[in-house]
Structure 1
């Protein structure tokens, strides 16, 4: 399973952003949560999901918001699940805590930890290898301009490039250039592969924990 713990950056000198972020995550990904986002301390968000795609999307959403150090923990969770995230426990929660603490020292403000290593001979990439690839995607997106995001968001709504051009008051060639500069196709190609890597890491981690 996947636990995401996010700690607000410089919360002492900023307003509380947790409630707003929780509402956004619930609106965008709510059905995928086993335990919904909870404000576990004054400036921290924590949630649980068994969906690798949702876990990656939440990491991307938190990172784009720009106000969070993000830890992704992978591992087992004690069942039956309690009523709220703050009452839950298990290896994935410990891993997420370690990850968010380490994330504050990384360039992308992101870290990934697994509760156990894969068994000998298992070809699954290690947690640090998966973290490195997620970090590359985060840094790619971080360099994206507002104009690039604007074009991408319209494309995600299903608009063809002709309509995007009309909406933005630019030419279709300019739309294509914005999408190219934003490396939209690169992101779209890598995301499914990343989801598979995260899924496989979850499987290997859970098997190792249960065999221990």
Structure 2
């Protein structure tokens, strides 16, 4: 499973962004819903790698967060709140979000067992893809991130429709979308989901009784 823990950057000098990021993450399919844990920290549990990658993209659009992703087991039965949950994925996520404060793109992926070479490789590749996603969006202004986000959520939307939605000119939207920014983000998101899926399978295989009996993630 995947535990996603995010911590607001510069929280002492910024307004509380937890309510807004929870609204952004609300559509994501979770096992345990995203919720505030303590202070300016948010945490959720997921079992779908594609949902994890989408969640990271939505967080990157919102911007201003340290992102830690833990991959591993979560103790059963699952509670209704992350504050009552335990497991190696939670420990990995805690280490990850702390390391993210000084990491590229403020994002780190950790799994609970990195003894196997394939696990280490898949973790590195998933982390690199997610960092590309976050960095690409981070280079854009807030409105521009919104154009990309809307295009990915509504691939049939025209530039004129996006411009009307945001109250800007079509030229402003074109300057962001024409270079293929949305395609880069989408590619990074899909690549991250692929490597997270492989990492999850490898991690489950290392856990007795989990290789065949764990939750299905495809």
* TM-score bracket for the superposition, by shorter chain length: 0.7 to 0.9
Please report how far the alpha carbon of residue 177 of structure 1 lies from its aligned counterpart in structure 2 after TM superposition. 4.1
Partner of 1:15: 15
Aligned with residue 181 of structure 1, among 179, 182, 185: 179
Cα displacement (A) at 1:20: 3.0
Residue in 2 that maps onto 1:140: 136
Cα separation, partners in 2 of 1:191 and 1:21, compared to 1, 3 Å: closer
Q: CA 1:127–1:211 in structure 2 vs 1: closer, same or farther (change >3 Å)?
A: farther
- Per the TM alignment, residue 189 of structure 1 is displaced from its structure 2 partner at its CA by 2.9
- 1:200 CA drift (Å): 0.7
Distance 1:38 1:175 in 2: 33
2:121 paired residue among 98, 117, 125:
125
- State the secondary structure of the residue aligned to 1:113: strand
Structure 1 segments unaligned to the other structure (5+ residues): none
RMSD across aligned positions (CA):
2.6
Structure 2's unaligned 5+ residue stretches are 211-218
SS in structure 2 opposite 1:181? coil
Whether the 8 Å contact between 2:68 and 2:97 is mirrored in structure 1 is: yes
**Which residue number in structure 1 is paired with residue 204 of structure 2?**
206
The number of equivalent residue pairs is 206
Per-residue deviation, 1:48: 0.3
What does residue range 56-71 of structure 1 map to in structure 2 within 5 Å? 56-71=53-68
Computing the radius of gyration from Cα coordinates, the structure with the larger value is 1
Q: Secondary structure at the match of 1:37?
A: strand
Post-superposition shift, 1:183? 1.7
